[in-house]
Amino acid sequence: MKIRDILKQNNKGVAFEFFPPKSDKGRAALIRTIKSLKVSKPFYASMTCGAGGTTQEITQDAVSLLLEEQELEIVPHLTCLDLSPEKLKDLLDDYKSKGIDNIMALRGDPPEGISNFNFLNQDFSYAVDLVKSIKEYGHFCIGVAVYPEGHIEALSLDDDLEYAKQKIDAGADFAVSQMFFDNSHYYKLLDRMQKKGIDIPVLPGILPLTDISKVKQFASICHTTIPKHIEETMASFAGKPQEQEEAGINFTIKQCQDLIKNGVGNIHFFTLNKPRIIKTILEAI
């Protein structure tokens, strides 16, 4: 079923993002994770592509694993990296034949270790190019990424929003935000989108805060700020990983509660394939 139709019917729910495993041990862990999170009846489970040196084939393989869990709506991520029009058609044919109705269309990050990588030399330079081709192919409901604090390469928030609008005008049906730790950035993004006449669902992307040093590293790459009071609280538990994790989870619970209080019904969790933390958060909210 298409996510845009699911979102019309459900105004309260969760979606989970997973990353594809690279080993048999990782595959077994992913199956356990899915089984344990499936009870929350997510309205979709998405599978990343390309991050951490994985390939499209590894994503396809992980998607097949998820498909064995029948009741899940799967959303494979697709990136521009090393993608030709022929490969895109093969991928879409494969996903369509497996009963998949939704795709998350992304440009992707440059490959690790190549600082001067130029996306303009690719067949698909920006996510919008991918959206146009998937739309032309037909069948799929398309999701795209948006950035509450602006994408790291964008010259301004206005520029970034203009490019986001191009993706939506080209046919994107829904969007998922980059992680944020200060909800005001997300509310302002919704405001700015509304003023620009953009009217598609924008799910907040929530990363549970656990290990502050890892989150800080990730946040700096993603152009996400961590509020000072959170950083200080987390730092006060340095050397006490359990206490730090507990404080982080409590923060994420409050963050989700604030979203719900402000009328946000659907939340997309970046699970990092860790069910225990997600379950704790869901139970609390």
Q: Which is nearer to ligand FAD, 13 or 244 (CB)?
A: 13
Active site residue 231: no
Q: Which is nearer to ligand FAD, 49 or 88 (CB)?
A: 49
Instruction: Pick the piece of the chain touching ligand FAD (CB under 6 A) from 4-12, 32-40, 47-55, 180-188.
Output: 47-55
Nearest of 107, 102, 192 to residue 141 by alpha carbon: 102
Question: What is the closest distance, in whole angstroms, from the C-beta atom of residue 144 to ligand FAD in the complex?
Answer: 6
Instruction: Pick the piece of the chain touching ligand FAD (CB under 6 A) from 26-34, 36-44, 107-115, 256-264.
Output: 107-115
Question: What is the closest distance, in whole angstroms, from the C-beta atom of residue 247 to ligand FAD in the complex?
Answer: 25
Q: Which is nearer to ligand FAD, 49 or 100 (CB)?
A: 49
Q: Report the C-alpha gap between 153 and 195 in whole angstroms.
A: 23
Beta-ladder partners of 143: 104, 174
- The pair of three-digit structure tokens given for residue 199, joined into one six-digit string: 């009217």
Nearest of 68, 148, 137 to residue 103 by alpha carbon: 137
How does DSSP assign 49-94, residue by residue?
-SGGG--HHHHHHHHHHHHTSTTPPEEEEEESTT--HHHHHHHHHH
Nearest of 10, 2, 24 to residue 266 by alpha carbon: 10
When binding is defined by CB under 6 A, the residue of 43, 66, 107, 190 that contacts ligand FAD is 107
Question: What is the closest distance, in whole angstroms, from the C-beta atom of residue 167 to ligand FAD in the complex?
Answer: 6
109 binds ligand FAD (CB under 6 A): yes
Instruction: Pick the piece of the chain touching ligand FAD (CB under 6 A) from 3-11, 105-113, 183-191, 244-252.
Output: 105-113
Question: What is the closest distance, in whole angstroms, from the C-beta atom of residue 131 to ligand FAD in the complex?
Answer: 9
Nearest of 178, 175, 183 to residue 252 by alpha carbon: 183
- Please provide the distance, in angstroms rounded to a whole number, between the alpha carbons at the two ends of the chain: 27
What is the CB neighbour count within 10 angstroms for residue 82?
14
When binding is defined by CB under 6 A, the residue of 145, 172, 193, 264 that contacts ligand FAD is 145
When binding is defined by CB under 6 A, the residue of 33, 48, 252, 271 that contacts ligand FAD is 48
What is the CB neighbour count within 10 angstroms for residue 69?
14
- From 17, 73, 149, 245, active-site residue: 17
- Active-site residue numbers? 17
Q: List contacts with ligand FAD (CB under 6 A).
A: 48-51, 77, 79, 106-109, 126-128, 145, 151, 153-154, 159-160, 163, 167, 176, 178, 205
